[in-house]
A and B are shown apart, each in its own frame.
Chain A
Amino acid sequence: MAANNQRVIMKGRHGGLTLQLDDQCSFSDLLAELEEELSVNAASEQEPMIKVSIQLGARYLTEDQKRVLTTLIREKQKLVVESIESDVIKRTEALSWKENTDITPVVKTVRSGQVTNVRGDLLLIGDVNPGGQIQATGNIFVLGRLKGIAHAGTEGDSTAVIAASYMQPTQLRIADQFSRSPDYESEGVYMECGFIDDEEEKIRVDRIQEVVKKRPDLANFERRMDNG
């Protein structure tokens, strides 16, 4: 094993170390070699802690395995694991990422008593009638009349917005904020969008064009990945 020291490659970088780990051998072999390698280059007590970022290549580690790896490195040296990067993710994770960043088009009239729920953004082509409800973990766009309840950012994304061709909702909900329609009869408004106003910390409705200025990254993939 020691003869072929290719499984662990240490590289210095600005502000720390990079550990490139072989992605072909077994995990136990990798741990064994890593342990050996780290024991050799023992650091003295006086040296400061060094930040390490680990690169796994095409190896997938479970959370438990990551913990084992981190503990091993931590015990052996004055090293702290700063990050663990892998080129691969699990299929399920990938799918959930995709779900949370996708825009799901739905063509229907959401009627009283019906609930339409999607992960990611919802593009509803049709009306939401009073008593009907639409929900999305991301943004909601309604090509139709929104007269029921719309809840965007159901898992806490307070940057989510709700836009509708015709806005006359019973309630708007974004993350954990609520706003309801006035108690007097009121006409709806065309092409407007609800969002959480950071200054007032409550839901405001404004022209879609105005909201786009406040949410310049509305279509940004990374934002939706983080928040989804």
Chain B
Amino acid sequence: MGEAIVVTSGKGGVGKTTTTANLGTALALQDKKVCLIDTDIGLRNLDVVMGLENRIIYDIVDVVNGRCKTKQALITDKRFDCLHLLPAAQTSDKSEVSPEAIKAIVDELKEDYDFIIIDCPAGIEQGYKNAVSGADKAIVVTTPEKASVRDADRIIGLLEQEDIEPPKLVINRIRAHMMKSGEMLDVDEIVNVLSIDLLGIIIDDDAVIKAANSGEPVAMKPNSKVSLAYRNIARRLLGEAVPLLNLEEEQGIVAKVKRFFGISS
């Protein structure tokens, strides 16, 4: 019996889909059976970021409406046999599925997978309610901007009303030099305000955008800092105590990566 983790943020465009894709990939790298679910119905992205768009035949709305079995709609990842995607529908609307229907699908998938990772749409309405309905845990993604942190706080408040574990925080798109100069909220400040556990920090890196465009999650890359950050998040999810990456430390990464591979593979 696996666990279902919803990736949510409140604010749009802060990196939910990117986090879902990379976390899924990083967990698959650890030989975990993972199923990603895109609940952003009408604005599906996860398939594109994973480079799987051309394989979609059925989607989640088809499953909900009984046009196909859950298994029929699942797409197997290009790189890992243990990684699957249940895509969102592009032509429908969020109101076409109910939280109960999503929960039923998640519960069904939990039988076969170690992790179900649910990509949540922005906002706090129907789409959010659908996405959290089947989740056991939640990851809240924020960027180091006030508006983003404010919305994360709002979402955490809402998550606390759900029957799930206290959410964990991922701070995305960190720019070390701006944090250092105080132009950006720093990690401590954000964790202080939100007062939930920090699961990981991800720097702002062009490689993420490049990877998303090429349909190959950055977590696949062996030699980048972001990639390592995502893998560390996966390891922390698996219960390992992995220290945070040092933001300033630019050299020595390769050594660290090597060490990491030594441990994990």
Contact = CB atoms under 8 A, between A and B. Distances in A.
Interface of A: 109, 111-114, 127, 129-132, 147
Interface in B137-188: 146, 150-151, 153-154, 156-158, 160
Nearest to B159: A111
B153 A131 contact: yes
Contact of B157 (A113, A127, A130, A147): A113
A-B residue pairs, 4 tightest by C-beta: A111-B157, A112-B153, A112-B154, A113-B154
Question: Counting chain B CB atoms within 10 Å of each CB, which of A109, A112, A130, A131 scores highest?
Answer: A112
B195 interface: yes
A147 B193 contact: yes
A36 B153 CA distance: 71
Nearest to A144: B195
Contacts of A132: 153
A75 to B, nearest CB: 60
Contacts, number: 30
Given A112-B157, A131-B154, 12 more contacts: A111-B154, A111-B157, A112-B150, A112-B153, A112-B154, A113-B157, A129-B153, A129-B194, A130-B193, A131-B150, A131-B153, A132-B153
A131 B155 CA distance: 12
Contacts of B146: 130
B154 A109 contact: no
Contact of A127 (B150, B151, B158, B195): B195
Contacts of B158: 113
A114 B157 contact: yes
Contacts of A147: 193
Interface of B: 146, 150-151, 153-154, 156-158, 160, 193-195
A126 to B, nearest CB: 8
A111 B156 CA distance: 8
Nearest to B146: A130
A129 B156 CA distance: 12
Contacts of A112: 150-151, 153-154, 157
Contacts of B160: 111
Nearest to A111: B157
B238 to A, nearest CB: 28
B153 to A, nearest CB: 4
Contacts of A130: 146, 150, 153, 193
A129 B151 CA distance: 11
13 contacts: A111-B154, A111-B160, A112-B150, A112-B151, A112-B153, A112-B157, A113-B154, A113-B157, A129-B153, A130-B146, A130-B153, A130-B193, A147-B193
A113 B10 CA distance: 12
Identify the interface centre among B146, B153, B160: most chain A CB within 10 Å of its CB: B153
B30 to A, nearest CB: 33
A111 B193 CA distance: 9
Contacts of A109: 195
Contacts of B150: 112, 130-131
A61 B229 CA distance: 73
Contacts of B194: 129
A142 to B, nearest CB: 14
Nearest to A129: B153
Contacts of B195: 109, 127
A17 B195 CA distance: 65
A129 B153 CA distance: 8
Nearest to B196: A109
B132 to A, nearest CB: 16
Nearest to A108: B160
A127 to B, nearest CB: 7
A113 B123 CA distance: 13
A102 B154 CA distance: 29
A112 B150 CA distance: 6
Contacts of B157: 111-114
B232 to A, nearest CB: 27
Contact of B193 (A113, A114, A127): A127
A69 B156 CA distance: 58
Contacts of A127: 193, 195
The CB with the most chain A CB atoms within 10 A, among B146, B156, B157, B158, is that of: B157
Nearest to B158: A113
Contacts of A131: 150, 153-154
A127 B194 CA distance: 10
A171 B187 CA distance: 25
B187 to A, nearest CB: 17
A106 to B, nearest CB: 14
